[in-house]
Structure formats: structure tokens, C-alpha cells
Structure 1
């Protein structure tokens, strides 16, 4: 078996707790190099995974024979580093949001196509068992017409998760570009596009910085969204859910209400209009909380896409469409109007 030679650029918490762990568990992967501007962080990751440590990603790409790269960096570096890796002939798995503008996202897609390489964006919500089951129910027609939804992703904030704690880049606009809306909200925008299998055409948003006093980005955001067929719903993203994480979605349809990750014991509950209730135990959703699930299936899917030459489920175009929902929300906030999205 020929192994995929992988490098991880950025050795913060998402790399440490997700990418490196999941690459290490994949028998088709050989982690050959890691990179971080904090030398101690790079060395620690390198020792743990028997890889070579770098502090300069350009040097890594020049010196190492790498098949695939994970980009686990602050948001403003996603595009330039991904493009450099694609230009060096590497397949790229980039963390979300994929870029800080539509133009950057388009440049990433062009680099992937020009170099005939895979570009995948790490939207892990699509791989959650309850979400996949809900998509099957919707597509089967069993639920009838979908009317509306509400989806939420909130926790106490990145300071409890990020390698830099309260001094994290997540709170700094020049590096993060957006706050909770880009960190968590973009996941739910991607999820709803995936579940409903249609695009959003109108977005209105309200954002606040109320919980993190030193942040220069939003820590609470609420979006109202309308799809092509007229499905309307709300998306809430927050770094102020201090007591417990909420990663739930509820879909209101003609024949049933579907509750996803909304119950501590059942990952999906379907309440039919005839009074029947069906409860599913499908395994927990991945969580940053202690004791939470750590397998996202993102890495395995990325490696499978590379080894079988298949298009990833969340390629650059899909990543850009989900990013565009967040960009539309920003435009709505700036103009105080409902933003009409391009078709």
C-alpha cells in the first residue's frame, strides 16, 4: 500500500486535536512534516508524530516531498498558504471558513484546477450521522414539504479551546476577519445547504460583540435566511453559551418535526404529525468539550478522495457557497438591509 505523505501547516488546537490525531489513525497516511511559527509547538507535534518540524511553510513545501497538506492557520492565511501548497503540487484540506473574500476563494479554486489537485474545506457537520440520516429522510419525501428551520452552534468561546487562550487570533479582526459567525456560523450555513439541497437567496443578519470585551469581531450572530424554494429559517452562532455547548438543528416540515442533536440521549428525534415519535441513537456529534467525540471523518474522506481520485464532498465550490452566506450576512449588517444573493 502506497502511503499518502502529509504535512500539517499550523500546529494549534485544531491540528493537535483533529487533523494530526485523525491522520495518525489513518493507515494510508504518513505524517512527514509539521509547521508552526511557534517553534516549540512545531517541535512538540513533530516529536509526537515522528515528523520533521518547520517554522516556515515555504521552506517545508520546497524541501519535502508532500502529497497532501492540511492548512490549520488563522483565517487570513487560508488562501495564500493553500494556494502555495496547490502550486507546489499538493492536495489541500483547508480549515473553514475557506477564505476572507469571494475573490480569495475563487483564486484557491483556480489554483486547484490549474494544478489538477483536490481542494477540500473542513466542514465536518456533513459527516455527522444524524445529519446524514436527516438528509436521507428529506430526499425520500417522507417529511413532505419543508417549511422552516432553526439551527444553532454556540459554546463558551475559543479561549477554552485555542492554543493561545484569551490572546487567540480568533478575537482579532485583522487575522480572523469574522468571529463566531465565521468560526461556527459558517458550519451551519454549510449544513443547511447540504440538508436542503438548495441555495439561500436572501440573508439578513444582526451581530454583536457583547460577551468578549477585548474582541474586535462578533461573538453573537443571528441570521434569517430564505432559500430558493421559499424555506425560511434562523441561524444562531455564539461564543456566549457559557454553561453548555449547543449544536442543534430543528427542521419543520409538512409531515414531521425533525430534531437533530437537540436531546442528550438521542441524536435524532422525529415527531410525526400523526402522533408517532421515532428516536434514533446514532452516536454523538463531535465536540470541543472534554470527553466529546473527536472523530470528524473529514480526514478519512479527504484521504479517500486523494487515493481514489474522487471529488471531495466539500470541494472549493461548496466551501465558497457556504462562505458566501457569511459574506452576505456581513453585507446585511453593514447596510442594515436584507442582502440578495447572486444566483
Structure 2
């Protein structure tokens, strides 16, 4: 089998904790290049992975050395770098949110179509065992008609995790464009679309900055969402859950309630209307805490989709639909009106 040559563009925390170690662990790839404008950082990472260091992504792409890149940069660079890579005939795994506007997302999808190369967005929540099991239960009719849901993704904020702490691009509007909603909320819109098997059509949202006085992006958001079949529920995304991460989802159906990642031991609890309760121990969700799942499976899935020439689970189109919900939430918060996606 062909060994894919990989370059990682952006050497911050997500590259260091996820992409680089997961590529290194995959026997079908070889990390040949890393890129970051911070020279000291990129040289250190290059030495660690025995890869070539670049401070300019255009030079990396022009080298013709790579088959695949991961784009792990600040949000505002996702689209331009992904498009440049696709136009250079390189497969792209892009971090979320895929872009900062609908136009950018469209341009990325178009570039992938034209080049015939794969574009995947790194929404890792679809690979969590409890989420996959819940989707099966919903699809099989086990839960009956769906009535409602609530999902949350919150932690104390990226300053504890980002390589640059409080000086991180995460908190700067011109680089991030969007805060907790782009960092965490978009993961949950993607998860809900995956679990429920339908799109979200309307959003009402409050998107605030209340916890991080040094940030000029949102750090606390609560949204009410409605799906195409009329299922309603809430989504919270926050950098203000100061003591403990919350990454839970609850689905309320006619025959049962599903509790996902809502218990320290059981990653999925099914509470049937008959009174029966089934607890599943399916392994921990990936998290930045010690003891979280070691691999997000995103890289392995992407590599496999290239080698077998199959569509990845989260295509550009899928990433765009999940981003569109976030863009609608921002509009709703600004206009104080329910917004159509």
C-alpha cells in the first residue's frame, strides 16, 4: 500500500496533541513537513518528527513533497490554506470551524470538486463510541419518535490549553472570527445533525462575552434549535465552565431517553419509558484531560478514505452545514430574531 506523505500546517496545541501523534501512529503515512510562522516552534516540532520545517505554507505546497496536509491554523486561515492546498493537488484535513463565512466554505468545496482531492473537516464527535451507538439506536427506531434534545460543550477556556495561553489567537476576533461557538458549538451542531439524521432549520441564540474580559469574541452561548421535522432542543457552548468540562448530550424520545457522556462510568445510558435502564461502558470521549480517549480516529479515517478512495464521513458539504447553524446563531443574537439556517 502507498505511503502517504503528510505535512501539518500550524503547529499549535491541536497539531501537537492530535494530528501529529495520530499521523505518527498510522503506518500508512510519513510526516515529511511541518509549517508554522513561529520559527522556534516549527524547528522544535520538525526535529521531534524528523520532518522538514517551513515558516511559509506556500513554500511547503510548492515543494511538491506532500500528498496530504492538515490545516491546524487560526480559523481565518482555514479557507485560504485549504483552497491553496487543494489547487496544488493535495488532500486536506481541515480543523473546525471549516471557514469564517458561507462564501469561504463554498469556495473550499468547489476547490475540492475541481481538484478531485479529498476535503475532510475534523469533527471528531462523530467518532465517539457512545455517539455512534446512539445514532444506531435512533436509526433503528428503538427510541421511537424524537421529541427534544439538549447538548452542551463547555470547559474553562483555551487559555489553559493553547500554546500561547491568554495571548492565543482564540481570543482575537480578526484571527478567530468566533469564540466558544466556533471552538465548541460547531462540534455540537455537527453531532446533532449526525445523531438526529436531519438538518437544523431554525435557530434562536444568545451569544455573549461574559467570562473573559481579555477576549473580543464570544465565550458563552445558548441556542434553541429546531430541525426540519420539528424536533426542538438547546445547545450551550461555553468557555466559562470553570471547574469541570461538560460534553454531554441528552436525546428525549417517545420510547426512551438517551444520556450521552453524562456519567463518569457509563458513556451511554438508555432509560426506557418501561422503567428499564441499560448502561453502556463504551470507553471515554476524547478530551484534553489526562485519561481522555487517546485517538480521535479523525486522522485514521481520513487516511483510510484517501487510500480506499471513499468519501470521508465529514465532507466539506457536511462541515458547511454544521457551520451554517453557527452563522445563523450569530445572526440571531445580533438581530434578536429567530433565524433560518
Q: TM-score, normalised by structure 2?
A: 0.99
Q: 1:315 matched to which residue of 2? A: 315
Question: Which structure 2 residues correspond to residues 154-303 of structure 1 after superposition, within 5 A?
Answer: 154-303=154-303
Q: Deviations over 1:53-77 (max 9, x none)?
A: 0100001111142110000000000
Q: 1:77 matched to which residue of 2? A: 77
Aligned residue for 2:305, secondary structure, equals: helix
Aligned residue for 1:99, secondary structure, equals: coil
Cα displacement (A) at 1:334: 1.1
Question: Which structure 2 residues correspond to residues 52-131 of structure 1 after superposition, within 5 A?
Answer: 52-131=52-131
Deviates more, 1:118-127 or 1:56-65: 56-65
Residues matched between the structures, number: 341
Aligned residue for 1:82, secondary structure, equals: helix
Aligned residue for 2:302, secondary structure, equals: helix
Deviates more, 1:220-229 or 1:56-65: 56-65
Q: Deviations over 1:201-240 (max 9, x none)?
A: 1100001111100100000000100001110000000001
Task: State the distance in 1 between where 2:161 and 2:204 align.
Answer: 29
Cα displacement (A) at 1:152: 0.4
Q: 1:24 matched to which residue of 2? A: 24
Cα displacement (A) at 1:291: 3.2
Cα displacement (A) at 1:2: 1.7
Task: State the distance in 2 between where 1:83 and 1:44 align.
Answer: 27
Q: Deviations over 1:270-297 (max 9, x none)?
A: 0001000000000000001233223100
Aligned residue for 1:120, secondary structure, equals: strand
Aligned residue for 2:223, secondary structure, equals: strand
Q: 1:305 matched to which residue of 2? A: 305
Q: Deviations over 1:104-148 (max 9, x none)?
A: 000000001101000000000000000000000000001100000
Q: 2:39 matched to which residue of 1? A: 39
Q: CA RMSD in A?
A: 0.7
Q: Which runs of 4+ in 1 moved over 6 A?
A: none
1:17 and 1:294 in contact (8 A); partners too: no
Aligned residue for 1:252, secondary structure, equals: strand
Task: State the distance in 1 between where 2:115 and 2:335 align.
Answer: 39
Q: TM-score, normalised by structure 1?
A: 0.99
Q: 1:326 matched to which residue of 2? A: 326
Aligned residue for 1:133, secondary structure, equals: helix
Aligned residue for 2:84, secondary structure, equals: helix
Structure 1: give runs of 5+ residues left out of the alignment: none
1:226 and 1:232 in contact (8 A); partners too: yes
1:66 and 1:90 in contact (8 A); partners too: yes
Q: 2:338 matched to which residue of 1? A: 338
Aligned residue for 2:217, secondary structure, equals: coil
Aligned residue for 1:225, secondary structure, equals: strand
Task: State the distance in 2 between where 1:289 and 1:154 align.
Answer: 13
1:12 and 1:72 in contact (8 A); partners too: yes
Task: State the distance in 2 between where 1:242 and 1:318 align.
Answer: 31
